[in-house]
Structure 1
Amino acid sequence: MFRIHGDRMNPVRARLDASPMGSTQIIAVALAAILSALDGYDVLSVTFVAPAIVTDWGIGKAMIGVVLSAGLMGMALGSFLLAPIADVVGRRKMILVSLGLMAIGMLACGFAGSIQSLAFWRLITGLGIGACVAIINPISAEFANARRRPLTVAIMAIGYPVGGVGGGLLAAFLLQHHGWPSVFFAGFVAAAILLPVVAWLLPESPAWLLSRRGPDRLARVNAFLIRCGHAPVDALPDSPVETRRGYAAVFAPRQIGATFWMVAINGFAVATIYYVLSWLPQMVADAGFPPSVASTVSATASLMGVVGGLLLGWLAQRGGLRWLVGFTILGLGVSTIAFGVAPPSLPLLIAAAGVCGFFLFGTGTGIYVTLAGTFGDEARAAGSGFVIGTGRIISAIAPAVAGGLFASGFGRNEVCFFFGMSSLLSALILLLGWRRFRRA
């Protein structure tokens, strides 16, 4: 069973783990999924409007590349610098800060009058996105009971591609009728609506409340228990002996091995994931099919990915998480290699892309589930931020490496084999280190 715990199991935590999830917990998980969908929309919003901006401002693709890079840089900084603060001040407060940054950034992007201004405000938006993505992973795990935890993390993770797909449809409508600034304004409206909703409905994480010190600890824990329909307790165990929080806990001697174990698993898998996401449409087009067909193949992969992510979360409730996640990452590697050798037949390419997408988003879900159980309560947001932040850097490098390989004369089969092997290495690292580094 996948459990979340600190240095020792708290009786309050044991009660929450064993009891059915109440409405407060279900709402918290639903909010995490909605925030994930907003992240997906905000991340991709600039890619939706890029062609319109090129035409409107008469700029080249190189300048749009600066805007894209600014957003990615902001996301990495948000994961590295802001997410760890959630281990100190609480998950809820930093989610609100992240939403505020996203709202301000998206609003300002809609009013941007130059490429420099747009790049700056994409950096600010990225700060909020990077922090939010790293914090909603702990939230989705810490509000769930033990049985449903893998599924709740999966639901949160799947919110991201759902937001991207839905955002693409919304952006197509807005671009046609209202112009490119409206795509950013829509993101601002969504974030502005979510701010009071999150402030009203999302309580502080029970794991964070139980891991902290302070004279009001018992009162706040009891308030949460009552809100979830549980009877209050008369006393809590002594405050945790571990006083390190954030990066001090992430790089503590007993934790540092697990930290870099997760960085390696995520890094090698992310290289494959972003290679496939970035180059799949172009590889289909290079096989002789028009761009519209290439987009259809890519959409098929995304839809199958939603199925894969949810199926992994459902199966993980039944145990065997180690082998399930390892098999999913292994499947990503094998299916990527298989896509590389698939002949230029549309039915075969669609089938290969669908299988690849199934394992791709399943891998993302599996890594999030593994990540949530690798760090203690005192370091979960910081650990998630560090692992996801390094993944952001790799996600920016991998497509460029693939482009260099293609430009050097390597074919689809060879480049797919290279990146497929990256996932195979990720699966091997996960399986070899599971028993040594997992805390839950």
Structure 2
Amino acid sequence: MTERSTGRAALITFVCFAVSMIDGFDTLMLSFVAPLISQAIHADHASLGRVFGAGFIGTVIGSVAVGPAADRFGRKPMLIGALALTGLLTLACALATSAPQLALLRFIGGLGMGGAIPPVAAITAECTAPRHRTSSVILMFIGFPLGAVVGGAISAALMTRFGWPFVFLMGGACALAMLLPVAWLIPAQTKAAVHEGGGHVRIGAILAQGRSAPAFALWLGVLASMIVSGFLVSFIPTILNLNGVPVARAALGAVVLNVGAIAGALALSWIVRRREPFRPVAVSFAAAALLTSVLGLLIGVGDALFGMLFLAGACLVGAQLTFPAIASRLFPPAVRASGVGWTMAIGRLGSIIGPVIGGSLLQQHTALDRLFALAGLLALLAGGAVALAGLWSRHGGIAGDGERETGAPFAIAEGKH
């Protein structure tokens, strides 16, 4: 790559990182303000679980719909549409007066939130040298928990002063503000999209050429792990508040979890620069299984819980942040956004199941040690599934970074904004 194209690729990746960051904040902001919303609109745990679930259903549909559309019509227009929908509907959430109304708004806004990640993952992969593709997409997707960390810290500081609607206004405004840099700096197409992305992308094409077994194993791992993190991220602030932690401090529980995720993802990005990603990610999930089980024994015992939340976030959510990168590695350019979209959609399905079931179990006063032990078993299942995906991809001869896609990264279309 020339110095000019290298600099332009770095700028494009930074824009994708910023989109990922805002998407992370907008997706997870509800967990920060859930205790205040519960009091303001008189919603019980089960109702809150349905609100969480409605937003995640929207992200599932958005991921499945936008991924193939981005392969067919181009990454940029679909990303612009996803950001606009996210921003407008997040602003509207500030006006909600009931749980069903908030659930509807989060569902529609979720279409945009889920639709943003497949295009940015594909854009990042296609402007990066093949040997660095996996680690670059991981680093880009670190923006997702970083957005939750920064947004959560700001929310914890301001929501008791300005009220929970202010958090939605802030998130919606940030999403709309990203429209200008995306429209100006993201190229209209990459060569991969121009030459290979035409036509309607079917699931058969995504799973062709020996990809079905590793893809299904990967998707099982995504589903199991996201059930766990969907529950933790959504309900940790509420669980802490119920066990005597003040609202503002309880909101920091989700922040600490995501700070750990950033640390874990950074460590994994360094490791996968030197080896394939499947085994390190599987080991990380195995460690998360133990840590998550221990969490249930530490609720209400003081600050030790926050340290364990950090470690659990590093191993569990940090490993999850590799999934877009692994999908970008597994699926070739012609179906890359579709493959990432399906991967993220299945993960979002887990994010629906986690808070809905978790909210119901909390409503039934299930013992926390049992609840977190079950979460640990699911994390262990995720690790086993990822290990199988790696084994089957190697046996199937599926290329990793730089093996099938040799040479320079996909060229960036100059002058098309």
Question: Which of the numbers 89, 92, 108 marks the counterpart of 1:105?
Answer: 89
Matches within 5 A, 1:39-188: 39-58=23-42, 60=44, 62-112=46-96, 115-188=99-172
Determine the structure 1 residue equivalent to 2:351: 395
Determine the structure 2 residue equivalent to 1:322: 278
For the 8 Å contact 1:376–1:439, the answer to whether it is kept is no
Matched letter for residue 439 of structure 1: A
Higher Cα Rg, which structure: 1
Determine the structure 2 residue equivalent to 1:222: none
> Structure 1's 78 and 297: CA in aligned 2 closer, same or farther, altered over 3 A?
closer
Matched letter for residue 58 of structure 2: G
Determine the structure 2 residue equivalent to 1:303: 259
Cα drift, residue 108 of structure 1:
2.5
Question: What secondary structure does 1:411 align onto?
Answer: helix
Q: Distance in 2 between matches of 1:177 and 1:281?
A: 18
> Normalized against structure 1, the TM-score is what?
0.77
Question: What secondary structure does 2:286 align onto?
Answer: helix
Relative contact order higher in (CA < 8 Å, ≥ 6 apart): 2
For the 8 Å contact 1:332–1:363, the answer to whether it is kept is no
> Structure 1's 42 and 22: CA in aligned 2 closer, same or farther, altered over 3 A?
same
For the 8 Å contact 2:316–2:379, the answer to whether it is kept is no
Determine the structure 2 residue equivalent to 1:425: 384
Q: Distance in 1 between matches of 2:168 and 2:274?
A: 41
For the 8 Å contact 2:53–2:355, the answer to whether it is kept is no
Cα drift, residue 364 of structure 1:
1.3
Q: Can you give the 5+ residue segments of structure 2 that lack an aligned partner in the other structure?
A: 401-417
Residues 1:266 and 2:222 are matched in the alignment: yes
Cα drift, residue 39 of structure 1:
0.9
Q: Distance in 2 between matches of 1:302 and 1:274?
A: 12
Deviations 1:276-307 (A, max 9, x none): 43565677789x77457766665444322211
> Structure 1's 60 and 422: CA in aligned 2 closer, same or farther, altered over 3 A?
same
Q: Distance in 1 between matches of 2:49 and 2:282?
A: 35
Determine the structure 2 residue equivalent to 1:236: none
Q: Distance in 2 between matches of 1:58 and 1:439?
A: 53
Q: Distance in 2 between matches of 1:296 and 1:114?
A: 25
Q: Distance in 1 between matches of 2:299 and 2:33?
A: 33
Matched letter for residue 270 of structure 1: M
Cα drift, residue 439 of structure 1:
3.5
For the 8 Å contact 1:154–1:309, the answer to whether it is kept is yes
Matched letter for residue 87 of structure 1: D
Determine the structure 1 residue equivalent to 2:18: 34
Q: Distance in 2 between matches of 1:184 and 1:291?
A: 21
> Structure 1's 410 and 342: CA in aligned 2 closer, same or farther, altered over 3 A?
closer
> Structure 1's 424 and 285: CA in aligned 2 closer, same or farther, altered over 3 A?
farther
Cα drift, residue 149 of structure 1:
2.1
Q: Distance in 2 between matches of 1:271 and 1:257?
A: 22
For the 8 Å contact 1:84–1:247, the answer to whether it is kept is no
Using the aligned pairs only, state the percent identity.
Answer: 26
Question: What secondary structure does 2:333 align onto?
Answer: coil
Residues 1:411 and 2:369 are matched in the alignment: yes
Output the aligned Cα RMSD.
3.3
Cα drift, residue 351 of structure 1:
4.3
For the 8 Å contact 1:337–1:420, the answer to whether it is kept is no
Deviations 1:82-115 (A, max 9, x none): 3221110011111011011112212322344555
For the 8 Å contact 1:300–1:350, the answer to whether it is kept is yes
Matched letter for residue 397 of structure 1: I
> Structure 1's 305 and 251: CA in aligned 2 closer, same or farther, altered over 3 A?
closer
Question: Which of the numbers 334, 343, 353 marks the counterpart of 1:378?
Answer: 334
Q: Distance in 2 between matches of 1:33 and 1:399?
A: 27
Q: Distance in 2 between matches of 1:336 and 1:128?
A: 31
Matched letter for residue 118 of structure 2: A
